[in-house]
Structure 1
Amino acid sequence: MENDLIYSDKLVDIDDEGIRLKKYYFPIGMTKFVKFRNVLKMEERQSTLVNGKWRYWGTGDFVTWFPLDWHRSGRDVIFFIQLSTQSTRIGFTVEDSMAFIEAVESKGIRIEKS
């Protein structure tokens, strides 16, 4: 049985166990589920060219993977997750960053500002 969602938009869902990143895998757009227990670090960064503002899907540096978001360049912040289960960092955006932050922090995950 699926857990109740505590945050949901067109890009991500959050439930009690973790974050579902929609349209993660290229080119088929399947989701990736990130368990909170596997999160080593989560950061919030200003949306800039260097941080991936124009990276709509995929990677440009083989360090960070971005799920699909055609509107990333208009988002206020970009979030980054480093996991204990993989070396590639995940960079992603959400539709309502303040509600997303509140939902994640309610699960005991601290989001660092960079």
Structure 2
Amino acid sequence: MESDLIYSDKLVDVDDKGIRLKRYYFPLGQAKFVKFQDIFKMERRQPTLANGKWRYWGSGDFVTWFPLDWNRSGRDFIFFIKMSTQSTRIGFTVEDSKAFIEAIESKGIRIEDS
């Protein structure tokens, strides 16, 4: 329900329960929902070749999965989620990093700088 959203853009939605990563699954682009309670660790990194700046969709190392974002190379941060319920890490970007960080931190999730 849209009234429950505390952050939303073309790439992600954040509500009271978690983060919806839009265009996550290949090839049809269905969304994946990550519950806050399943987040073990969350980081933000500057985009570099080594951490996925040019990875538009999928995985290059079988460790990190990136949902679709054709503009990832121009974003200011790449966020990474390590979940307690799966071994694959999720790397994703948002359109407004400052607003996204405020929304996540308002839910008690700490974002570490790496």
Q: CA deviation at 1:57?
A: 0.1
Equivalents in 2 of 1:103, 1:47: separation in Å? 21
TM-score when scaled to structure 2? 0.98
TM-score when scaled to structure 1? 0.98
- Runs of 4 or more, structure 1, over 4 Å off, are none
Q: Give the conservation status (yes or no) of the 8 Å contact 1:14–1:103.
A: yes
Alignment root-mean-square deviation, CA? 1.0
Equivalents in 2 of 1:103, 1:30: separation in Å? 23
Identity score, percent: 81
Asked whether 1:8 is paired with 2:26, we answer no
- Residue in 2 that maps onto 1:19: 19
Q: CA deviation at 1:2?
A: 6.6
Deviations 1:7-27 (A, max 9, x none): 000000000000000000000
- Residue in 1 that maps onto 2:57: 57
Q: CA deviation at 1:97?
A: 0.4
Equivalents in 2 of 1:67, 1:96: separation in Å? 16
Equivalents in 2 of 1:65, 1:24: separation in Å? 9
Q: Which runs of 5+ in 2 are unaligned?
A: none
Equivalents in 2 of 1:53, 1:26: separation in Å? 19
Q: Which runs of 5+ in 1 are unaligned?
A: none
- Residue in 2 that maps onto 1:94: 94
Equivalents in 2 of 1:74, 1:65: separation in Å? 18
Aligned length: 114
Q: SS of 1:112's equivalent?
A: strand
- Residue in 2 that maps onto 1:74: 74
Structure 2 counterpart of 1:30, which letter?
A: Q
Equivalents in 2 of 1:2, 1:95: separation in Å? 18
Q: Give the conservation status (yes or no) of the 8 Å contact 1:3–1:16.
A: no
Q: SS of 1:73's equivalent?
A: helix
